Amino acid sequence: MVPELREYGPAREDLRAEIIAAQALFPESTREAYELPFPADVSQTAWITDRACEFLDTAEGDVFAQISYIQPHNPFSPPAEYVDLVNIDAIPEPTSAEWKNAPIPYYEQPRYAEPSYEIADWRRERALYFADLAHLDHELGRVREALARASRLENCLFIFTSDHGELLHDHGLLGKWERHYDPCIRIPLVIGMPGVRPGHYRQLAEHTDIAATIYHWAGLPAPALPVWGAADTEGMPMLHGRSLVPVATGKDEDMARSHVFIQSNNSHVEASPRSWARTIRTTRYRYTRHLAGGGEQLFDLIEDPDEQNNLAYDERYRDIREVLLADLAEATATDAYPNSPLHLFQVGSW
């Protein structure tokens, strides 16, 4: 998908052709999940850790490190030595494809003709995905060892999170995109810092809170926009996320959000508003609106945690739907605050 791969580097090598040739070595049925044909220490995940540890071992003074791993991501490709760590008998079965029972227009597209778990070896793909997680866990341990070697571990903010989830055949779906079921939008968020209160927090948080948390913990002023005619003021804050430091340290548990906002724009399957989706997720409900007439979903996540009964068209839930729809409209309009929503999305991106 990257045009530059056709003429890469000083030698202008055609890496795209090499990648396609390498993919051809694997049967079509295994290209989404396979064991790496080389040891873990030369895997992509280990390479990223090596570069991160080199930085942490040599950097001086206060530092910020964003270590972006690719795995676990399709194709699920763990090193072979991690596959045996997975107990295949304990792998849960995928949840049923709710959208097959009473499909909204979005799920009437040809690409949703049948659930993924009916045409793929979901058990094998889940096993390799979990093996990828075991490998990532090992590599994160190496990062923390590097922090300890540099005497940084006791006074650092360590955040582990993800950009999205993985449906992994739940609801008969793979990947992410605009299918906002919980396995797609509910992601890990682990925070370690001096004074952190151990435990599992049930407050809602979203990605916008990450930057606010980092600035707060580091004692740095958040970036601000100048305000016309008010040059002597601090300006308007650019960050509209909320710092999670008070929650994590137990100093303020009343900072909980009433809801979080999730959006998808243009999947790489289709660059059209039909592949856009907007969602409001509360502690109890998930309300999603698929654009271009794609329909709506409303699930009661307490009574129906597996999201099997769409209540969006149930008259008994009309008042709840209207409240969530109003919240969704406001969240959509104020998403880019304090700027107007003029950002452009790459056509066909995901």
Q: How far apart are CA 319 and CA 317, in angstroms?
A: 6
In a domain, 241, yes or no: no
**pLDDT for 123:** 95
List strand residue ranges (DSSP E) for the chain, in order.
158-161, 189-192, 224-225, 236-237, 260-264, 277-281, 285-290, 295-300
- Which 3 state secondary structure label does DSSP give 188? coil
Give me the number of domains the chain comprises: 1
Residues 234-246: tens digit of each pLDDT: 667 788 889 999 9
pLDDT at 337 over 90: no
In a domain, 17, yes or no: yes
- What is the residue range of 16's domain? 1-29
In a domain, 56, yes or no: no
**pLDDT for 342:** 46
In a domain, 194, yes or no: no
Q: How far apart are CA 173 and CA 109, in angstroms?
A: 13
For the whole prediction, is pTM greater than 0.85? yes
In a domain, 22, yes or no: yes
Q: How far apart are CA 41 and CA 267, in angstroms?
A: 33
In a domain, 10, yes or no: yes
Q: Kindly state the average pLDDT of the residues 42-59.
A: 96
In a domain, 6, yes or no: yes
Contact 72, 136 (CB under 8 A): yes
pLDDT at 344 over 50: no
In a domain, 248, yes or no: no
